[in-house]
Structure 1
Amino acid sequence: MWSEIGPDRQQDIEVDGYRVVAYEFGDGDETVLCLNGGPGLPCDYLREAHSCLKNHGYRVVAFDQLGTGKSDRPDLPGLWTMERYVGEVDTVRRAMGLDRVHLLGHSWGGWLGIEVALHHPGAIKSLILENTVADMPHLIQELQRLRAALGHETVAMMQRHEAMGSLDHPAYQAAITLLNYRHVCRLDDWPAPVKRSLEDWNMGPYVALQGPNEFLYTGLLKDWDRTADLPAIRVPCLITTGLHDELTPACAMRMKQGLPQAELHVFPNSSHMPFYEEPQAYYPVLLDFLDRQRQRGRG
């Protein structure tokens, strides 16, 4: 259901003295504000996967976070903090005249979405946490389990290159490539919007906040854990994950246990991108949740 058709509207927004570019699809009276993964990725892959919601009466908004896509790209490592990104989301929301939104965060965007919901609860009508976590130390344990499935020799090889700092070695990169095809996107040919985002990745914020790849967390957020704060998020929440997701179903279940109004859906044939890997199952789940919130608001 994804489309490479361009946005209906595009807007430049000033954030911290820099230009951030936002995109809109549709003009419904209910807004889905999308926070993409990365960090450091342009929003193309998430924006184009969810632009189809405009055909169901929703206004869809996404934006290139500072440092990505068409937004300004300052080379200032001090900008890459969770606090600044939370402020950026609220600035974009206000600048676009958005009231309470359905906040949809994928991967890193889900970490950010949790922080936004905690800091700006009045801005959120519902929270959609896609392929994400609330507890980074638990995720790191899960990633070790996924890596272990490659076998003892491969794990030892990876640990040796990580210790030596030789992450560009072909053997190490081959292991990461295999893990990506198992746990990031299981399609043989990755969709064009995904390729476009990955080809324009700004590794500055990614390395600063997360680490050098999807299976090694060394950045500022490696100890981030909001599990104890989840009960404060009192809006309806939809949690989605793939059975083979790098951010595993166990991580999703930990979020569900902490959120007062949460429902969880695991897509059996997906990893980290059910909207591309299993669209025939994904979109009915998302639309059912959104439509129930819309009816609830009108009731």
Structure 2
Amino acid sequence: MWREIEPDERQEVEVEGYKVVTYSYGSGDDVVFCLNGGPGLPCDYLRDSHSCLIDHGYRVVAFDQLGTGASDRPTDPALWTITRYVEEVETVRQALGLGKVHLVGQSWGGWLSIEYALTYPDALRTLTLENTAADIPHLVRELERLREALGAETVAMMQRHEAEGTLDHPEYQAAITVLNYRHVCRLSEWPAPVQRSLGDWNMGPYETIQGPNEFLYTGNLKDWNRIPDMHRITVPVLITVGQHDELTPACAAKMKHALPDAELKVFPNSSHMPFFEEPEAFYPVLVDFLKRRGGG
């Protein structure tokens, strides 16, 4: 079960002249390497929800991606590409001497993990894709479906503000808040690690890569689709998704069908963060997968 744990080691890694800060828990060669969502979020929420894997004999490593948390925060938008972040992940893995890893990617970190797995297949033991998607145009259609549940009048209002660029209007923000509590985290009180990450959000990478909010994709990944290439990912894959997830079970199923060796688990009472929303159900699934398929 998750709990907030102080890292055993905090280390800085140089990535193309910038400082990236890493956090390591536990010891040993069986490494769970976590790539958090955002983009633009510090790793607190994923680090604190997965560091408890040390209880099962794993070393857990996470890092604040460039532009987030304690890492450097340059402002050049040319840095905010999935290709550059893939190379950052590889630089961190090599600098820390992690060897082959159990890669865990959540949300944007899942997109990054898919791209990384296709670029550096020999670096992985297993791949866990949490609350993510591999086909952004398909995801956008799913998000439209979730938005439609707010009602035609609300959808029309949202579309008007999006067309006029008035996304900060209170009525638009109210609709986004409802969607967030339905499809991002369904807990009435969001856990402290989530609040810390959200409270230190760098919108530069987020808007450049994704868009202005969780339900509007206008960034440089809006046409990204790796479904045709996922047959090349041959390591065992675990896909986890919440029934009410913004990155929906349909997105998860599309990935499963494209992968040669994948398992899929849907958590019925969760949205985008089953590790916080249904921890009693989530952790046994993840630990069982790692033990069964990890080759260790």
Q: Do both proteins adopt the same fold according to a TM-score greater than 0.5, normalized to the shorter chain?
A: yes
- Once the two structures are superposed, the pairs formed by residues 1-299 of structure 1 within 5 Å of their partners are 1-294=1-294, 297-298=295-296
Aligned-residue CA RMSD in angstroms? 0.6
How many residues are aligned here?
296
Question: Would you say the 8 A contact 2:137–2:224 is kept in 1?
Answer: yes
Gaps of 5+ in 2: none
3-state SS, counterpart of residue 292 of structure 1: helix
Displacement after TM superposition at 1:85 (Å):
0.1
Which amino acid is the alignment partner of residue 224 of structure 1? W
Question: Would you say the 8 A contact 2:29–2:99 is kept in 1?
Answer: no
Equivalent-residue separation in structure 1 for 2:99 and 2:25 (angstroms): 17
3-state SS, counterpart of residue 129 of structure 1: strand
3-state SS, counterpart of residue 263 of structure 2: strand
| 1:88-140 deviation line (CA, Å, top 9, x unaligned) | 00000000001110000000000000000000000011100000000000000
Equivalent-residue separation in structure 1 for 2:13 and 2:29 (angstroms): 21
Equivalent-residue separation in structure 1 for 2:4 and 2:76 (angstroms): 32
Equivalent-residue separation in structure 1 for 2:145 and 2:204 (angstroms): 27
Which amino acid is the alignment partner of residue 161 of structure 2? H
Displacement after TM superposition at 1:178 (Å):
0.1
Question: Would you say the 8 A contact 1:28–1:58 is kept in 2?
Answer: yes
Equivalent-residue separation in structure 2 for 1:55 and 1:80 (angstroms): 35
3-state SS, counterpart of residue 38 of structure 1: coil
Question: Would you say the 8 A contact 2:240–2:264 is kept in 1?
Answer: yes
Which amino acid is the alignment partner of residue 165 of structure 1? G
Question: Would you say the 8 A contact 1:234–1:261 is kept in 2?
Answer: yes
Q: TM-score scaled by structure 2?
A: 0.99
Question: Would you say the 8 A contact 1:28–1:54 is kept in 2?
Answer: no
Equivalent-residue separation in structure 2 for 1:2 and 1:194 (angstroms): 13
Which amino acid is the alignment partner of residue 210 of structure 2? Q
